[in-house]
Structure 1
Amino acid sequence: MFPELNNLLNVSPDKPEQGKFTLLCDAKTDGGFLVHHFLSFYLKANCKVCFVALLQSFSHYNIVGQKLGVNLIAARDRGQLVFFEGLKSTVEVLFGSKEQPNTLKFIRESSSDLKSLYEFVQKALTPSGDGSATSWKFPVLLVDDLSVLLSLGVEAVAVLDFIQYCRATVCCQLKGNVVALVHDSDQTEDEENAMLMNALGHQSSLILRAEGLVTGFCKDVHGQLKILRRGLLQPKNDEAEQWNTLLKVIEIPCARARI
């Protein structure tokens, strides 16, 4: 968790916002530090977190998390963190038995049906009724990242449907938050990615966009972070609150976080 970013967003683990959909995106720089920030932020906020990790392994996130003051193994063991390791599931789908059930079975079936992935999220975050969820503030879904689903052959419409169902369940029904990362490929011919980015941008209440510097690389400054906060009541000129800040490179093992 980066205190500087919390100050910019005017939030803290003691009083996190609820019912929000936050979109993380990056262009010409790595926005993975934003994922690590929100993961550690919500764990420190004592929230129940379902982390759909499609890009990196559990050990990667755990090593970075320890540098940010959280232990993912301990969080998983006490039931606070439900971790879905997409890399492991992909290997099992491609090289495992066809009869074996798998959340990413759509890869083998060459379809865009993300129902099984949604059901995983729903089961992970919906209170069981035995009182075990009373110790957590509220549920949070974190996805890293949605662009991987497109590369696996899932259509943008199916990804949008998945997020819509997750928002309805997590944000509206359970009064929790959804945070998802999408890469901006900056390729005009990638219509699916552009469609996904634009649609999610209109649905989100907060957008954090990490970008490379237009002038190129600079010592100790690797890019800029654009923050766009969208309210329920937009101004008449349809402009949302937006401000920028520079990204300063911070070195941590197995990842380079920037803020």
Structure 2
Amino acid sequence: MMFSSLEGLVFLEGLKSCLDLLFGEQEEQLGQPSPLQFISTSDLKALFDFVQVSLTPASSDSWKGPVLLVDDLSVLLSLGATAVAVLDFIHYCRVVVCSQLKGNIVVLVHSNEDSEDEENELVVNSLCHHSDLILWVEGLVTGFCKDVHGQVMHWRAWRDVVQTYQYKIQDKNVTFFARGLSAAVL
């Protein structure tokens, strides 16, 4: 299995591990099942167990506030997990990471208003409903502009105020500014 640990950072290379699992090249490590065995069983328990073991500090560690980053939760749906299984997985991760370990979870989910993928929309709507902070990133609806690449809408669950910023992606940086205040307008 492809995962590495570097000074508190645990990285599971999901795509490589999925391919290894699908083509039979996956070796169980120390008798532990693959965190990605849900591909054949539709059960995310092994993935949750991997997250829990990876984020729970050993007695010698002094982690304060671990962060679980899930880069594209939509991939779990594409690999055969049901929306209910994905939401259960996030719920259990939230219990361990947020409640027990006093950390945070950051999740990327793709969504499209025109999408006909009902399971993905169920996951997106549920996550929005249970999140403290939501960043909705999208391209410009008006089309291409060389000085503005898109907009970010930002809102917190306890406030009903949506703040919108526009952004421009540069070589090694991203510039954010209020809507209508790009260099092209000024």
Question: Under a length normalisation based on structure 1, what TM-score does the superposition of the two structures give?
Answer: 0.61
In the aligned structure 2, how far is the partner of 1:99 from the partner of 1:213? 45
Partner of 2:108: 181
In the aligned structure 2, how far is the partner of 1:84 from the partner of 1:227? 29
How many angstroms does 1:189 deviate by? 1.8
> Partner amino acid for 2:47?
L
Change (3 A) 1:181 1:258: farther
Structure 2 counterparts to residues 27-176 of structure 1, below 5 A: 76-78=5-7, 80-97=8-25, 100=28, 101-109=33-41, 111=42, 113-129=43-59, 131-132=60-61, 134=62, 136-176=63-103
In structure 1, runs of 5+ residues without a counterpart are: 1-56, 59-72, 235-239
The one of 200, 214, 217 equivalent to 2:127 is 200
Which entry has the higher C-alpha Rg, 1 or 2?
2
Structure having the higher helix fraction is: 1
Deviations 1:93-151 (A, max 9, x none): 11125774321112133x2x10011111100111222x22x1x3311100001011111
**Relative CO higher for 1 or 2, CA cutoff 8 Å, sep ≥ 6?**
1
Partner of 2:179: none
In the aligned structure 1, how far is the partner of 2:174 from the partner of 2:68? 21
Question: Under a length normalisation based on structure 2, what TM-score does the superposition of the two structures give?
Answer: 0.83
Change (3 A) 1:257 1:147: farther
Whether contact under 8 Å (2:35, 2:48) holds in the other structure is no
SS in 2 for 1:244: strand
Say what the alpha-carbon RMSD is for the aligned residues.
2.3
Question: What percentage of residue pairs aligned between the two structures are identical?
Answer: 56
How many angstroms does 1:251 deviate by? 2.4
How many angstroms does 1:257 deviate by? 5.8
Whether contact under 8 Å (1:222, 1:258) holds in the other structure is no
Partner of 1:62: none
Runs of 4+ in 1 over 6 A off after TM superposition: none
